[in-house]
Structure 1
Amino acid sequence: MDCIKQPSSNESTRSKISKTFSKCIHPQTPSRFPPNPKLRTLSEELNISLKDFKSEPKLTRTKSQRSNSGDLAQQEQAARNKAAKEALVAKLFASLSSLKAAYAELQSAQFPYNNDAIQSADEALVSELTVLSELKQRYLNKKLDLPPPHVTNLLAEIQEQQSNIKTYEITMKQLEWKMEQKDSEIASLRKKLEDTTKTNKSLEKRLNSSGVLFPLPNNTPLNELNQCHFIRVLHFVLRSLRHFVKQLVREMEVKNWDIDLAAKAIEPNAKFVKSKHSIFAFESYVSQVMFDGFNHHTFYLPDEGTKQPLKPQIFFENFRKLQSLTPSQIFTQNPRYPFAKFCRGKYLKLMHPKMECSFFGNLDQRKVVSSGAFPATEFFSLFAEMARRVWLLHCLAFSFDPPAVAFQVRKNCRFSEVYMESVAGEDDVISGDVTAAFTVVPGFKIGKTVVQSVVYLSPAKR
């Protein structure tokens, strides 16, 4: 017979507590009593509170996420719009650069005229205007659906750089074309200058050979002779003198002479304002040699002190006779004529043997001149023509009564506008007091008329 085991006191106590707690959680309401809606069981209270506890944070997170996602979407849209506008502006500037290049090409094709290039440039111009019109319509209609902005910006920058390079190339071609035009003009002007120089030399040779060099008609009577005739002849003398000096300096340059040092040897105390003024020292040297003895009726020629009469009529007749002859004709017709002696003496005095040997490599020309002959060289022909004009001026000077006399200004004397004239003109601008550094060409007195001496000016020494 089985034994029934009685529950212990502890187990009975736990079961009672469990039943009591279960009744509290799940109360059994009798069917005859309706449920009260105001009363909530603990489980309902716990369920509600748990539901609220689980659902409330979820609702809060959803709202914040929605607000944040909306802001991000707006920011992204604004960024996309900004990038699209920047891309549109970049494309606009690129199109303007292309338009500029096309217009430059159109202008370049017109000078010189190129029909094919003009049509091509015109088509490119119309195409770029069309692109600009499309960009305008896109902007007005707010259709900025361009390719990715960074790609558009990159392509626009490449297009702009290419257009700028094309514009620079067109400009460079235009400048090269203009340079070619200028070069052709320079070549043409040089050719004209050479032709004019040759013509002038030919005319000068013809004038020298014909002897028609002075504006004094042969039928001019002695009693109508005046100072204007003397001044005209003097101007022709100075032109020949300067022409010879230029040839003299040119020979020095060919032989690599130091022109400034040679000028300093002639006028050691002179200070030239400009380097080109050194030629005035050579003009001074030549004029001093050629006009030395001008105031004497025979030019101090040897053995001519008493043979030459002092009558103005005789000097005037000599002037008329000699002005129609060339130096070579005078030498050939009468080698013993005073002019031949004058020409030989002035040449041997003017041309130092070392200078002549440097120019021509020998002294053959000097020997020919010393023998009384006329060397057939261009250099001596220039000198002889200058000497002939000085001799004719001397004859004309003694045709006056009293004779015209030459005067020379002392060095470093105060400048006087009555007796002096600056050789450099406007180039010789010196502030303050000035003095005559040296005389370039002597002055002349014809009765009461004074022909100014030509001097080179320098600042006055204090």
Structure 2
Amino acid sequence: MDCIKPPPSSESTRSKISKTFSKCIHPQTPSRFPPNPKLRTLSEELNISLKDFKSEPKLTRTKSQKSNSGDHLQQEQISKNKAAKEALLAKLFASLSSIKAAYAELQSAQFPYNNDAIQSADEALVSELTVLSELKQKYFNKSLDLPPPHVTQLLAEIQEQQSNIKTYEITMKQMEWKMEQKDSEMASLRKKLEETTKINKSLEKRLNSSGALFPLGNQISINDLNQCQFFRVLHFSIRSLRHFVKQVVREMEAKNWDMDLAAKAIEPNTVFAKPKHKIFALESYVSQVMFDGFNHHNFFLPDEGTKQPLKNVFFQNFQKLQSLTPSQIFSQNPRNPFAKFCKGKYLKLMHPKMECSFFGNLDQRKVVSSGAFSSTEFFSLFAEMARRIWLLHCLAFSFDPPAVAFQVRRNCRFSEVYMESVAPEDDVISGDVTASFTVIPGFKIGKTVVQSVVYLSSAKNR
């Protein structure tokens, strides 16, 4: 017999429905089956979406980092290109320096000519031009396969310095070679100058000492004498005096004499317009000593009588002595009046200290003091000057009345009738000028006046 089950109540019915609905919403997976990864609940989907949304700023920062990294790489590339170009320029300038050195070597090998050096320099020049052409092609093709830029620049700098040093060495060798040529030319010219100087001295000595070159011949008579002949003899005497003064100046300069002090000692109150005018003071000193006593018939010689000889005797002495040299006059008659005149003027003109400074001793002074003729060049020049002045004195007393010498007083106003400036025309002082001192005395022959040679100075300096 079947049992009759009671009908379910309403509460039990509702509980069953709710369990069934909850199962539908939250299905339970049996534990014996693994979970399917493809199946995701809504909450999981929401969680993933939320995570994706929260992680989006991180994705943005990653893109920014990638962008900055790209810019950094671009800057590095620009820097590399710049360094490569700088290295290329450095290598270019180094090549140019090498070309310059090779060209300098090529030029140097041609003067003097050296075939081996020319070939070597030509090969080096071609090699450097080839390197330069390769650099040009690399630059145009943008294939700068050079070593690291800093290494290239360092090597280029070393190459450039070596080329510069080589160029300087070549230039120095060329200058040394030119200096050797100049030294050789100077030695040759110095030798020619010495030979020319010897010839000039020989000619000058012959001109000053040879009687044949004296302006008056032996054929002239006393009745034919005139002022022009006196002028000619005076000109030769003055030229010999100036030649001797130049020799004295050369001796002073060789012994380091102070020409300023020497000129000041002779003419202490004179202001010279130019330094070269100081030689006129020394010329004045020699002239004063040599012409002192000119107006006296025996030139103030000692042990001579006061009786004045006839003018014919003076003219005969003039004719006799004009064809003889001073050494011949001394050798023929050491007691000749000219020998006494020459001895007295030398001892008066040459101070012992001056003579000792010039020659280092007084041997020449001792020879002259004994009445002998010294064979030195210096005394020969002095003796020739003395001979010409002695002959001028003999000729002056051959006139009737005799020619007389005169000097201009200091600070006397300049007069063209009685004076002539010793300085060149360009050095003559303009304006009111006076005679500072007499360089060469003037002469009066009857009514004819030979101008005195004076040194002029401004009247303001009086």
TM bracket, shorter-chain basis:
0.7 to 0.9
Name the amino acid aligned to 1:157: E
CA distance in 2, matches of 1:290, 1:63: 119
Whether the aligned pair in 1 keeps the contact of 2:440 and 2:452 (CA below 8 Å) is: no
Give the aligned partner of residue 266 of structure 2: 266
Deviates more, 1:183-192 or 1:95-104: 183-192
In the TM superposition, what is the alpha-carbon distance from 1:362 to its structure 2 partner? 7.4
- Is 2:383 aligned against 1:394? no
Give the aligned partner of residue 308 of structure 2: 307
Whether the aligned pair in 2 keeps the contact of 1:315 and 1:398 (CA below 8 Å) is: yes
CA distance in 1, matches of 2:93, 2:267: 70
Deviates more, 1:97-106 or 1:19-28: 19-28
Give the aligned partner of residue 149 of structure 1: 149
Name the amino acid aligned to 1:190: R
In the TM superposition, what is the alpha-carbon distance from 1:414 to its structure 2 partner? 4.7
CA spacing shift, 1:26–1:155, aligned 2, 3 Å: farther
In the TM superposition, what is the alpha-carbon distance from 1:206 to its structure 2 partner? 4.2
In the TM superposition, what is the alpha-carbon distance from 1:281 to its structure 2 partner? 3.0
CA spacing shift, 1:263–1:57, aligned 2, 3 Å: same
Deviates more, 1:281-290 or 1:196-205: 196-205
CA distance in 1, matches of 2:387, 2:406: 21
In the TM superposition, what is the alpha-carbon distance from 1:60 to its structure 2 partner? 1.8
- Consecutive unaligned residues in structure 2, runs of 5 or more: 1-17, 30-40
In the TM superposition, what is the alpha-carbon distance from 1:290 to its structure 2 partner? 0.7
Whether the aligned pair in 2 keeps the contact of 1:266 and 1:282 (CA below 8 Å) is: yes
CA distance in 2, matches of 1:123, 1:333: 83
Give the aligned partner of residue 198 of structure 2: 198
SS in 2 for 1:306: coil
SS in 2 for 1:212: helix
CA distance in 2, matches of 1:257, 1:50: 115
CA spacing shift, 1:402–1:270, aligned 2, 3 Å: same
Q: Deviations over 1:386-420 (max 9, x none)?
A: 11111222344455666554332323445566623
**Identical aligned pairs, as a percentage?**
76
Give the aligned partner of residue 350 of structure 1: 349
Residues 59-138 of structure 1 correspond to what in structure 2 (within 5 A)?
Answer: 59-138=59-138
Q: Deviations over 1:52-100 (max 9, x none)?
A: 333x235423432332232222212211111111111111111111111
CA distance in 2, matches of 1:121, 1:260: 60
Give the aligned partner of residue 410 of structure 1: 409
Name the amino acid aligned to 1:48: S
CA distance in 2, matches of 1:431, 1:91: 72
CA distance in 1, matches of 2:119, 2:97: 19
CA spacing shift, 1:58–1:430, aligned 2, 3 Å: farther
CA spacing shift, 1:222–1:76, aligned 2, 3 Å: farther
Whether the aligned pair in 1 keeps the contact of 2:433 and 2:456 (CA below 8 Å) is: no
In the TM superposition, what is the alpha-carbon distance from 1:202 to its structure 2 partner? 3.2
Give the aligned partner of residue 187 of structure 2: 187
In the TM superposition, what is the alpha-carbon distance from 1:346 to its structure 2 partner? 2.3
CA spacing shift, 1:53–1:372, aligned 2, 3 Å: closer
Give the aligned partner of residue 173 of structure 2: 173
CA distance in 2, matches of 1:105, 1:445: 77
In the TM superposition, what is the alpha-carbon distance from 1:192 to its structure 2 partner? 2.0
Whether the aligned pair in 1 keeps the contact of 2:209 and 2:384 (CA below 8 Å) is: no
SS in 2 for 1:460: helix
CA RMSD, Structure 1 to Structure 2 (Å):
4.0
In the TM superposition, what is the alpha-carbon distance from 1:422 to its structure 2 partner? 3.4
In the TM superposition, what is the alpha-carbon distance from 1:203 to its structure 2 partner? 3.4
CA spacing shift, 1:306–1:162, aligned 2, 3 Å: same
CA distance in 1, matches of 2:365, 2:60: 127
CA distance in 2, matches of 1:267, 1:397: 29
Deviates more, 1:350-359 or 1:385-394: 350-359
Normalized against structure 1, the TM-score is what?
Answer: 0.77
In the TM superposition, what is the alpha-carbon distance from 1:350 to its structure 2 partner? 2.4
CA spacing shift, 1:432–1:163, aligned 2, 3 Å: farther
In the TM superposition, what is the alpha-carbon distance from 1:298 to its structure 2 partner? 4.2
SS in 1 for 2:293: coil
CA spacing shift, 1:107–1:354, aligned 2, 3 Å: closer
- Consecutive unaligned residues in structure 1, runs of 5 or more: 1-16, 29-39
Whether the aligned pair in 2 keeps the contact of 1:102 and 1:125 (CA below 8 Å) is: yes
CA spacing shift, 1:132–1:232, aligned 2, 3 Å: farther
Q: Deviations over 1:238-270 (max 9, x none)?
A: 332233334445566777766654444333334
Whether the aligned pair in 1 keeps the contact of 2:311 and 2:400 (CA below 8 Å) is: no
CA distance in 2, matches of 1:334, 1:18: 183
CA distance in 2, matches of 1:227, 1:133: 91
Residues 187-226 of structure 1 correspond to what in structure 2 (within 5 A)?
Answer: 187-207=187-207, 210-219=210-219
CA spacing shift, 1:356–1:18, aligned 2, 3 Å: farther
Residues 3-14 of structure 1 correspond to what in structure 2 (within 5 A)?
Answer: none
Name the amino acid aligned to 1:140: F
CA distance in 1, matches of 2:421, 2:281: 16
Give the aligned partner of residue 36 of structure 1: none
Q: Deviations over 1:94-113 (max 9, x none)?
A: 11111111122222222222
Normalized against structure 2, the TM-score is what?
Answer: 0.77
Whether the aligned pair in 2 keeps the contact of 1:331 and 1:374 (CA below 8 Å) is: yes
Deviates more, 1:315-324 or 1:130-139: 315-324
CA distance in 2, matches of 1:18, 1:401: 187
Q: Deviations over 1:219-250 (max 9, x none)?
A: 46777766655444334323322333344455
Name the amino acid aligned to 2:307: T
Name the amino acid aligned to 1:49: L
Whether the aligned pair in 1 keeps the contact of 2:437 and 2:456 (CA below 8 Å) is: yes
Give the aligned partner of residue 10 of structure 1: none
CA spacing shift, 1:80–1:390, aligned 2, 3 Å: same
CA spacing shift, 1:136–1:254, aligned 2, 3 Å: closer
Give the aligned partner of residue 44 of structure 1: 45
Whether the aligned pair in 2 keeps the contact of 1:271 and 1:458 (CA below 8 Å) is: no
Name the amino acid aligned to 1:386: M
CA distance in 1, matches of 2:368, 2:47: 150
CA spacing shift, 1:265–1:27, aligned 2, 3 Å: same
CA distance in 1, matches of 2:69, 2:256: 93
Give the aligned partner of residue 323 of structure 2: 324
Whether the aligned pair in 2 keeps the contact of 1:263 and 1:279 (CA below 8 Å) is: yes
Whether the aligned pair in 1 keeps the contact of 2:428 and 2:456 (CA below 8 Å) is: no
Q: Deviations over 1:147-180 (max 9, x none)?
A: 1111111111111111111111222222222222
Name the amino acid aligned to 1:344: K
CA spacing shift, 1:59–1:366, aligned 2, 3 Å: closer
